[in-house]
Amino acid sequence: MDTAIDSGGLRLRGYLARPPATSGGPGLTRHGLVVCHGFPSGPGGAATAARTYPHLADRIAADAGWVVLTFNFRGTGESEGDFSLGGWVADLRAAVDYLLEVTDVDGVWLCGFSTGGSLALCAAGEDERVGGVASFSAPADFDAWAADPKRFAHHARTIGVVRDQAFPRDPAAWARELSDIRPIALIGKVPPRPVLLVHGAEDDDVSVMDARALADAAEGQVELRVLSGAGSRLRHDPRAIAVLLGWLDRQS
């Protein structure tokens, strides 16, 4: 069902999927999963970001028996606001808060793709309420964006994640978040909670070396799966979804 999440006064568009009513009896508690989309691509890409994620949420709910929440980060889809990396971190925290309040949900895990996967690792590292995290095609850091923040800000406007011409009010602080928020510095705080890293061997957008660097930063206390022949769009790779469903099935 469609829903809304409040993130610091911004209204985020969300979608909550539940398992079929026939699975389990009344009063049954279930694990909850927050699924995070990546950074949009292409001109106007913000408008259609995460459009297919409700379908993924429905599939996970049906196949894994979990309650699944997916949502649009600020600046994308029908969510309010403008993109900042710190703002997206706050949005994910708000999504965790929201799902923990849903009736019958007994715990929250995170799953994310690309930028969403990176931020899922960050959120899990900073929030012990998170039971575990699955990350797909995740950059180990955002140094490529931080290297030329003015150029990246222009790109953000071009694709539509920054809509307000006066945003950001503090360009220096906006740019600083691109270098300060570092998945590779936080992943080591997640274990012994479970971590799944999945990456395409032929990913031209994010090198598979990022996945290996993240695994090393966690001292190998992760499950790393490199998919032969796969590129960056693991959301649409049946093998990646099968790996995710298998991992969810092993969570206690």
Contact 126, 102 (CB under 8 A): no
Contact yes or no for 245/62 (Cβ under 8 A): no
pLDDT of amino acid 244: 98
What is the predicted pLDDT for the residue at 23? 53
- Give all strands (DSSP E) within the chain, no chain letters: 2-7, 10-17, 30-36, 67-71, 105-113, 130-136, 195-200, 223-227
User: What is the tens place of the pLDDT at every residue in 54-72?
Assistant: 999 999 999 999 999 999 9
Q: How confident is the model at residue 28 (pLDDT cuts 50, 70, 90)?
A: confident
Contact 15, 35 (CB under 8 A): no
pLDDT score for 235: 92
Kindly report, residue by residue over 125-179, the tens digit of the pLDDT. 999 999 999 999 999 999 999 999 999 999 999 999 999 999 999 999 999 999 9
Rounded Cα distance, 150 and 155, in Å = 9
Distance, CA of 144 to CA of 17 (rounded, Å) = 35
Residue with tokens 């999440």: 5
Residue 13 to residue 76: CA distance in whole angstroms: 9
Mean pLDDT of the chain: 94
Evaluate whether 92 touches 36 at the Cβ level (below 8 Å).
Answer: yes
Write the pLDDT tens digit of every residue in 78-113: 999 999 999 999 999 999 999 999 989 999 999 999
Query: Could you tell me the domains of the chain?
Result: 2-249 (3.40.50.1820)
Question: Cα dist. 189→109, 123, 193 in Å?
Answer: 15, 10, 9
DSSP letters for 28-42: --EEEEEEE-----S
pLDDT band at residue 232 under the 50/70/90 scheme = confident
Closest C-alpha among 85, 114, 120 to residue 210: 114
Residue 146 CA, distance from chain mean position: 20
41: confidence class by pLDDT, cuts 50, 70, 90 = confident
